[in-house]
Structures are given as C-alpha cells and as structure tokens.
Amino acid sequence: MGGGTFNEFFSIFIGAFCGGVGNYLFVFISAWFLCEEPFSLKRLLKIWKQVLFYSIIIGVFFFIKKIPTIGFYDRDLYDSVGFFNAAKPIGKIDLIRSFLPVLMGNNWFATCYIVFCLFIPILNDLTSVIERKKHFYLIAVMAILGTVVSFVPGQGMLHPSNLYYFITAYFIASYIKKYNPPIFNNPVKNILIGFLICVFCGLWNCALNYFSESYKAVDFFKEWLLLGNINKFPILLASVFIFCGFVKMKPFSNRIINLIASTTFGVYLIHVNGFLKIFIWHKILLCDSFADSPAYPLYLLASSLIVFIVCSLIDLFIRQPLTVFVGYIRNCLSRYFYHEE
C-alpha cells in the first residue's frame, strides 16, 4: 500500500482506537461486577479452561494438518507477501506452547486478565477501606505515571506492564461505581465525548503518519506520540467516557444481546490466536489484495463482521455445548465413583 493513500489513512484511523479502547472496556466491565463480589476460583478456572480449549484445539489442528502459518516468533509479518514467504508448519515447540497458553503468554490479554483476577480479592479489600480522596489520588498517580509520562521520549521513570493498566482500570471502575461522580451522569454526553476523543486519536495518528514521511523530527517522535495503545491517556479517557455512557443508560435485558455477549471472549480467543490470526486475514480473506482498491474500507469492515459472526457461531455451537457435555460426563462419573465407595 502506497504511503499517504486514503486506504492507509483509513486503516490508521480505525486502528488508532479499536484495540486499546476495546481492551479497557472489557476490564472496566469485569471490574464493575467484580469489585463488590467475593473472589470466585471457579469463575477463574472457567476462564482458564476457555483459553486452554481454543489454544489446544487450534494448535493441534494446525500441527496435524501441517498448515503453513506464522509461528509464535513471526508475529511482525502482517503483509501477504511476508506471509507466503515465511509461512511454515508449526513445530513441536509451538505445539507444546499451545498446551501452556497462560504460562507461555501466547495471548497477552488473556494471560494478563487471568493474572489480574488473582489480585481481585486484595484489590476489593483495599477499595473497601480506602478513603475517597486517597482512592482518587491513587487513580491520578497511576494514570499520570502510566499514560502521561509515556509521551516523553526515552523516559526511564516507569515502564509498566499490561497488568499495571488493568489494575488502573479496576480502580477507576470501582471508584465510579462506589461514588457515582456527577460528571458521568449523562449517558449520551458520555458516549459523544468518548467518540469525539476516538476521532481525535484517529486524526492525530493520520497526521503523524503523513508528516513523519517528510520531517525526520516527527518520525523520531512518532513512536511515543502515536495514540492507540492502553498506555496513552486519550485512549484511557475515551474508554472511561464510553464505559460510563453505557453504564448510566436505563437497564434493560435482551436475550439475543446476552447470547452474543456470551461469545465475545471466545471470538477474541479464536481470531487473535498466534497461528490463526495472520492466516485468517492473509490466506483466507486475502485482505491485502484489496489494499489499493476503492472497496478496501468496505471490505475491511465486512471482513471483520464475518470473522466475528463465524467465531461467535463456533463458540456458541461447538465450545459451549462441548463444555456442557464434558461437565455432564464429569458429574456422572463423580456420582458413580461416589456411590461405589
């Protein structure tokens, strides 16, 4: 794709806020429900089993079929030419890693989320006794150190891990739930502000990309000034407003929405799998073949929708029924051996 094309700017614009905002929203939602609930090891094991299920199934399938794909160590090849030149069947080491997805950190978000859940009991105890001013102070310090200082090139003050941002999000969500700040009481206003911040992030990244090709100074600072990841303050701010917008809406329940929502984590685990994600976009959907086409924006959006629908159906009609069946067999065996004794 040539530099400065509309399609390139479109990709940069969309990518500026989709990942970071989505990650924050998932943690905000989790923290909202977990901050006042007792720790549940059963719930944590359920998440771990879901991560393990997809990692093993996909890893074994690619290993047995010897499907050429990008391995765990070749994740930077996002173009089709690079894919076809470097694609190779996964080896035994990669297969072993598939059986240890959390320990090996094959999926950064899932791994970080499970570790984050282990801290929930301590975080709950802390937020239950901490004063409001100190709670706000804690949020301010963590946000500034984690998302404002990161704009300084070469800063050596703090290099936090992803877990740091998950905990920051927890403190924010628990503060909003506990104290209900008036600034977030208008749901429409919240969503609008969040959306406008996202638009700003997208336009900002497009401008950086454009000027970095002509000015070396801009190109040097580009790495620290790009917006999109969870370590940037505008992304955190947009996520907070969007989250509060939906939280402050009038409560309602819809069976279809709830059903789709139950598959979202499974959708994530499938389409970002280290073996599968590049294979989907560059072998199945061939997105790069549309890179210079006027239809690229529409094709990219349609492809994303198709991936979501297919992965959602896989989780709904394969993983969930299989999990129920395995649980039923386990209960039957437990009752049988219990009666035998």
Mean per-residue pLDDT over the chain, rounded: 86
Supply the pLDDT for residue 191.
Answer: 96
Supply the pLDDT for residue 70.
Answer: 65
Tell me: pLDDT of 161 over 50. yes
What digits encode the pLDDT tens for the residues 251-280?
A: 877 888 888 888 999 999 999 998 888 788
Supply the pLDDT for residue 252.
Answer: 77
Give pTM, 2 decimals.
0.86
Tell me the C-alpha distance between 23 and 16, whole Å: 13
Supply the pLDDT for residue 76.
Answer: 43
Q: How much of the chain, in percent, has pLDDT values that exceed 70? A: 90
What digits encode the pLDDT tens for the residues 304-335?
A: 999 999 999 999 888 878 777 766 676 776 66
- Residue 28 near residue 173 (C-beta atoms within 8 A): yes
What digits encode the pLDDT tens for the residues 98-141?
A: 999 999 988 899 999 999 999 999 999 999 999 999 999 999 99
